[in-house]
Amino acid sequence: MWQQTWNTPYRKDDVEAGERPLYPAMLENPQLRWGFIRKVYSILSFQLLITIGVAAVVVTVHPIAHFFVSTGAGLALYILLIISPFITLWPLYYYHQKHPVNFLLLGLFTVTLAFAVGLTCAFTSGKVILESVILTTAVVLSLTVYTFWAARRGHDFNFLGPFLFGALMVLMLFAFIQLLFPLGRLSLMIYGCLASILFCAYIIYDTDNLIKRYTYDEYIWAAVALYLDVINLFLSILTIFRAAE
């Protein structure tokens, strides 16, 4: 269990050992915060590997996708898979600090969301999927490096929280309208572009929280937030390329 040391200033020998403070006026020990960050990114990497593995199976084994679109039971199961990650988020939020329940719920959340991503990719050309993966990877790495660089120079992105939440509500309403009254390929491209911008901002916001505000016991929830940002950014870019194709 991580021990939080908010009021303990970092020592000079921490800096000499290579553990530089992540932002000005940092009161906690940089070594502890760096350890927390490494733990979160380890969990995130494991989630992404699971997602790639599950999605690859769904895409390459064609009878799986065919079952979900050709039978009534498959359609019902598909709807269940779509809503399962959102259902799992509720207990995960309340038990994200309770081991080992948090890891079990995290695994269930990741697998169900990965299956939904795989079904989306199953009806998309390999070229579009590859382009989306490459662009998502480049954007995530660039924004992560930028946020760490900006934090070290004193920039704070906490003010984005209310604006991002409002933009997310508008985007969800737009998607609901699009579902009921399809507006065509152009509207899909507009939706994908707006969603991509939104989740790029969320990556910066959640990475900034990872650096400054998450406590050491919130490693599961920090990983979930970044995982959702990456997956939603990938799906948004995928929507743009599919509409363009």
User: What pLDDT score does 8 carry?
Assistant: 44
Q: How many domains does the chain have?
A: 1
- Give the pLDDT of residue 74: 67
Return the residue matching tokens 């920039």.
155
Cα(243)–Cα(237) distance, rounded to whole angstroms? Answer: 10
Say how far apart CA 148 and CA 13 lie, in whole Å. 22
- pLDDT at residue 16 greater than cutoff 60: no
Using the predicted structure, report yes or no on whether residue 173 has a pLDDT greater than 80.
yes
Give the pLDDT score at 19.
65
Residue 190 lies in a domain: yes
Residues 34-60, mean pLDDT to the nearest whole number: 94
Q: Which of 119, 109, 107, 55 is closest to 86 using CA atoms? A: 109
Query: Does residue 108 form part of some domain?
Result: yes
Tell me: pLDDT of 69 over 80: no
- In-domain check, residue 2: no
Does residue 215 have a pLDDT over 60?
Answer: yes
* Cα torsion through 86, 203, 155, 193, rounded to 10: -110
The 10s digit of each residue's pLDDT in 49-66 is: 999 999 999 888 888 877
Structural domain for 237, as ranges: 27-244
What is the Cα Rg of the chain in Å?
A: 20
Give dist(CA 89, CA 101) in Å, integer. 13
C-beta of residue 7 within 8 angstroms of C-beta of residue 27:
yes
What is the C-alpha separation between 233 and 227, in angstroms, rounded?
A: 10
- Report yes or no on 228 lying in a domain: yes
- The 10s digit of each residue's pLDDT in 157-171 is 999 999 999 999 998
> Please, which residues have CB within 8 angstroms of residue 57's CB and are 6 or more apart in sequence?
64, 118
Instruction: Answer yes or no: is 114 within a domain.
Output: yes
Higher confidence at residue 47 or residue 19? 47
Distance of CA 63 to the CA centre of its chain: 29
In-domain check, residue 71: yes
- The pLDDT, as a whole number, for residue 96 is 81
More confident residue, 84 or 197: 197
Q: Which residues are CB-neighbours of 47 under 8 A, at least 6 positions away?
A: 106, 110, 223, 227
Average pLDDT rounded to a whole number, residues 94-113: 89
Confidence category of residue 234, pLDDT binned at 50, 70, 90: very high
Provide the pLDDT for residue 85.
Answer: 83
CB burial string 124-142: b at 16+ within 10 A, e below: beeebbebbeebbeebbee
Task: Tell whether 47 is covered by a domain.
Answer: yes
Q: Is residue 13 part of a domain?
A: no
